[in-house]
C-alpha cells in the first residue's frame, strides 16, 4: 500500500487532502508544520509527500530542501500544495526540489494524477 505524508498547518486543508487520498486507497500520515514533516519522514518513510507552501515557522520550501538532504529522499516525490498560482511560486518550488505543484484546493483528479505520475497507476 502506498503511504503519503500530508503536511499543512490548516487542519481543514489537511483533512481535505487526506480524505481524497484515503478514498484513492492511500495510507496517510499527517504533519502540521515543516519541522514535524522532516521528523515524520525519518520515522514513517512515506512513498510520496504533499507539502503546503505557507506555514508558520519554516516554509514548505524550507522543508523540501531539508528533506531532499536526507539519504532516502533524494528522488522521492514531493508535491507542493498552495493557493498561490504565480509562475514565481512554481519556480521556487522547482528550485527547492519539489517534483510537482498543485494549486489549492486540491482536486481528486490532481491528486490521482500525481500518484499515477510518480507511483503506481491507480
Task: Kindly tell me if the per-residue pLDDT of 120 is higher than 80.
Answer: no
Q: How confident is the model at residue 20 (pLDDT cuts 50, 70, 90)?
A: very high
Report the relative pairing of strands 48-52 and 27-31 from DSSP bridges: unpaired
Residue-wise pLDDT for 54-99, tens only, equals 999 999 999 999 999 999 999 999 999 999 989 999 999 999 999 9
- For residues 19-46, average pLDDT: 96
User: What span, in angstroms and rounded, lies between the C-alpha atoms of 121 and 116?
Assistant: 5
Looking at domain 3-117, its CATH class is alpha beta
Is the whole-model pTM more than 0.85? yes
Statement: residue 122 has pLDDT above 60: no
Residue 121 has pLDDT above 90, yes or no: no
Burial 23-51 (b: 16+ CB within 10 A, else e): ebebebbbbbbbebbbebbeeeebbbbbb
pLDDT, tens digit (0-9, with 9 covering 90-100), for 37-55: 999 999 999 999 999 999 9
Burial of 93 (0-12, 13-18, 19+ CB in 10 A): buried
Amino acid at each position: 500500500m502506498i503511504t503519503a505524508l500530508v503536511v499543512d498547518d490548516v487542519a481543514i486543508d489537511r483533512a481535505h487532502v487526506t480524505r481524497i487520498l484515503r478514498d484513492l486507497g492511500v495510507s496517510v500520515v499527517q504533519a502540521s508544520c515543516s519541522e514535524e514533516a522532516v521528523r515524520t519522514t525519518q520515522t514513517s518513510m512515506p512513498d510520496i509527500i504533499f507539502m503546503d507552501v505557507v506555514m508558520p515557522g519554516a516554509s514548505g520550501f524550507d522543508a523540501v530542501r531539508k528533506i531532499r538532504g536526507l539519504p532516502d529522499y533524494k528522488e522521492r516525490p514531493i508535491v507542493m500544495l498552495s493557493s498561490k498560482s504565480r509562475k514565481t511560486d512554481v519556480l521556487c518550488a522547482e528550485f527547492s526540489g519539489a517534483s510537482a505543484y498543485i494549486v489549492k484546493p486540491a482536486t481528486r483528479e490532481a491528486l490521482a494524477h500525481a500518484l499515477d505520475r510518480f507511483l503506481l497507476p491507480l
